[in-house]
Amino acid sequence: MLKADAHLACLFDIISNADAGLGQLAEQRASLSNYRARNQAILSPLRRVPPEILVEIFLWTLPSPHRMKWRGGGFTTTESPWVLTHVSRYWRAVAISSPALWSLLPMSFLACDGNPSYPLSMIETHIGRSHNLKIQFYGAASMESLAQIQILRYLAGYASRWEELSLRVTSALLPLLADLRDRLPALRRLSLEWDIPYSETVVDSIDSFQSAPLLVDATVYNLYRYVPIPFPCNQLTRYQLDAPWGVHAHLLSVSPNLVQARVVVDFDDEPWPPAGETIHLQCLRQLHISDVYILQYLGLPVLEELTVDITDGEGPFVLPHLAPPIKRSSSPLRNLCFFGCPDIPSICNLLQELPLITTLAFIIDECCTADQVRVVAESFTVSESVVIAPQLRCLAFGVHTEDLGFPFDYPAYGRMVKSRWDSQSCALTSATLLAGGEETIDAATFNGLNALRAEGLELTLLHGEDATHGIYSWTFEPNWT
């Protein structure tokens, strides 16, 4: 009997422990079932989303080309579009069968060890899933050139499908450019930049793109010297170039369809020539110029937005030359942006001469001083006796540097905006502040501006990379590279 009692007690203990374990398992089962049900409720609508809408959602998940450029390599399997192929069978089928997701193909050697994280086998698969290609290839002379040459040569085998090309050129890659002539039937947008000075010195010209029948957008960053690159000018709607004025004058005169231009006069020691026959640009609506004297040669009957570079100390001398060409052309100019050191007296006189301007923007860079920025904010702050440019509907500030060398006066900016918003004599409806550096707006100014937003002010506050891209839009930089 004693043995039986002991055995029964042992069985009772086992059953009791088993019951407790079953209870825990039942609780885990219930928890997992609830978790699955909640996620099922989330995923089920997505499974019912039509593929064409799902593709639009997928396109918003693609990483920024700008970020990929400076981190090095290309796409990774942990980001879109590759990661979309590992979520579900439906998502995989939609992603693989959507060429638009695979059109962008970035390759950067700027921040890698010369062996990119995007191997040739993945590039082959990527191209197989695409239709037209948007190639972004950033070479680096400091890295091993063999892999760069191999990949660009492979991509050039599909040149007939290139729709966009953004290329950072090294001397080792130059021979491959010569092979592109007459092989770019689909190319619409082009951006070229040079890696180091030596890359520009080993070439006299690049004649690879003049025969591209669809090319309408051309950008060339000549940082060290001017390198001639012929384009099909009669079909261009946008161009950007660093070159002597004589080159620009010819290009503008044979490009009747330009809508946007970024004219940077550089590598030019010649004095400005006498104004001769006016170059009439009947379609040009957006213009960025490195020197206000450029305007004296142009007829701009439909110009709506103008950005002007101003170097320190030259404002009082050059800004008086801005209004006459605009008035002569009867331009419907509404947006005016100054890049650099503003001269407030000259700008105030200019706004009196051009009363149709309703948007005024200032891009502050490292050449500006704290006093200059303070004077701008104080001058446009409404006082009891003075209201400068009451017609302005939008005032915008952009800080185009990571380190101004002094703290931006956010409280003064806030006071300026509030004074114009509260004034019955001012037309202000929107304000923009783009801070490209690390410095952030103080809490008091931020809360004060948000209070104005609650009252109806259209307020845009951007910081960091988003702010930098916003400033690029004011200077008409290409928004696709």
How large is the average pLDDT for residues 339-343?
84
**pLDDT tens, residue by residue, 349-360:** 889 889 899 999
pLDDT at 169: 93
In one-letter notation, the amino acid at residue 11 is: L
Per-residue pLDDT band for 200 (boundaries 50, 70, 90) equals confident
Does 43 score more than 60 pLDDT? Answer: no
What single-letter amino acid sits at 464?
A: G
Instruction: Supply the mean pLDDT for the chain.
Output: 88
Domain ranges of the chain: 43-231
What local confidence, expressed as pLDDT, does residue 17 receive? 74
The pLDDT value given to residue 429 = 96
Per-residue pLDDT, 228:
95
Residue-level pLDDT at 306:
96
Listed residue (377, 367, 450, 371) closest to 410, CA to CA: 377
Lowest model confidence (mean pLDDT) among 335-339, 340-344, 456-460 = 340-344
For 49-108, the pLDDT digits (tens) are 888 899 999 999 888 776 666 665 567 778 889 999 988 899 999 999 999 999 999 888
Give the list of residues 6+ apart from residue 337 with CB closer than 8 angstroms, or none.
305, 306, 307, 308, 360, 361, 362, 363, 396, 474, 475
CA dihedral 276, 280, 284, 286 (to 10 degrees): 20
Query: What would the pLDDT profile of 428-443 be if each residue is shown by its tens digit?
Result: 999 999 987 777 788 9
pLDDT in tens, 368-415: 888 888 888 999 999 877 788 999 999 999 987 766 777 888 999 999
> What is the predicted pLDDT for the residue at 24?
80
Average pLDDT over residues 127-156: 92
